[in-house]
Structure 1
Amino acid sequence: MAAKSKEDRPGYSITEVEDMTGITAHTIRYYDKCGFFPNLGRDSRGRRFFTDSDLQQLTLIEALRYSGLSIEGIGYFVRMQLRGRDGVKQLMRVLSEQKLSLDLKMREIEECQGALEAYASEIAQKAEISQV
């Protein structure tokens, strides 16, 4: 029996999503078990298939994780997504808090970068003095 072409399948396999995003299949499965893809489809064999909307959700989940939001926090976020208009205020609050958290992290990183650059400059000056 011939394999189905991409056009015959309803979406992307987990392997394709892993290749497209660089996020491991293990992590994607974990996110699914956490309920982060409430509308994720499965084929007749029970294998996950991902739509473009699911890929957008995965990108959002990763952004929330990297911004420091806990798994529980992401679960809350997904529940608010499912509430539609009733959840918009809570979604905006979470996004605003995570943006503030990232702003703080960026300032901290800039400070660290400045300290490293200053130290590198100091070392370079000492090296020039000792070579004289």
Structure 2
Amino acid sequence: QDRYTISEVVAFTGLTAHTLRWYERIGLMPHVDRSHTGQRRYTNRDLDWLEFVNKLRLTGMPVADMVRYAELVREGESTYAERQELLESTRRDVLARIAELHDTLAVLDRKISFYATER
């Protein structure tokens, strides 16, 4: 199957129908095909794109940067360098957050250890 209704995509992705419509409105989703009755019909390619967008969201990438990335994808291969830089910048941010989380985890471990020895 390569045609899914918005309710099926909601079930697959965990996103809300409102979010899917918003993604389309702001240009984060490429053009979504419609049935003869006007109902959205998503493809497997759309589902793959939504999976990638969800990963970008998890990185903390600003929505404006995600929309910019989507625009670059639509512009074609000539934008590879700009796309790569955008992803590399996001990767640096993720690594910095991971380092902060490791530091935070170390603080928590010290506190837990302290309380464990005080009993």
Query: Is the TM-score greater than 0.5?
Result: yes
Root-mean-square deviation (CA), in Å? 1.4
Of residues 99, 102, 112, the one that matches 2:94 is 102
Of residues 94, 112, 116, the one that matches 1:120 is 112
- CA–CA distance in structure 2, aligned partners of residues 81 and 92 of structure 1: 11
C-alpha displacement at 1:90, in angstroms? 0.8
Query: When the two structures are aligned, how many residues end up with a matched partner?
Result: 119
- CA–CA distance in structure 2, aligned partners of residues 42 and 35 of structure 1: 16
Aligned to 2:53: 61
Of residues 86, 90, 95, the one that matches 2:82 is 90
- Is it true that 1:75 corresponds to 2:67 in the alignment? yes
Whether the 8 Å CA contact 2:27–2:71 is kept in 1: the answer is: no
Instruction: Give the unaligned 5+ runs of structure 2.
Output: none
Q: Which moved more, 1:113-122 or 1:26-35?
A: 26-35
- CA–CA distance in structure 2, aligned partners of residues 65 and 101 of structure 1: 13
Of residues 28, 31, 53, the one that matches 2:23 is 31
| Aligned-partner residue type, residue 104 of structure 1 | A
C-alpha displacement at 1:13, in angstroms? 0.8
Q: Which has the larger radius of gyration?
A: 1
Structure number with the bigger relative contact order (C-alpha 8 A, sep ≥ 6) is 2
Whether the 8 Å CA contact 2:33–2:40 is kept in 1: the answer is: yes
Of residues 25, 42, 48, the one that matches 2:34 is 42
Q: Which moved more, 1:86-95 or 1:61-70?
A: 61-70
- CA–CA distance in structure 2, aligned partners of residues 29 and 48 of structure 1: 10
Q: Structure 1-normalised TM-score?
A: 0.83
- State the secondary structure of the residue aligned to 2:92: helix
| Aligned-partner residue type, residue 41 of structure 2 | F
Q: Which moved more, 1:38-47 or 1:81-90?
A: 38-47
- CA–CA distance in structure 2, aligned partners of residues 64 and 33 of structure 1: 18
- CA–CA distance in structure 2, aligned partners of residues 15 and 86 of structure 1: 35
| Aligned-partner residue type, residue 66 of structure 1 | L
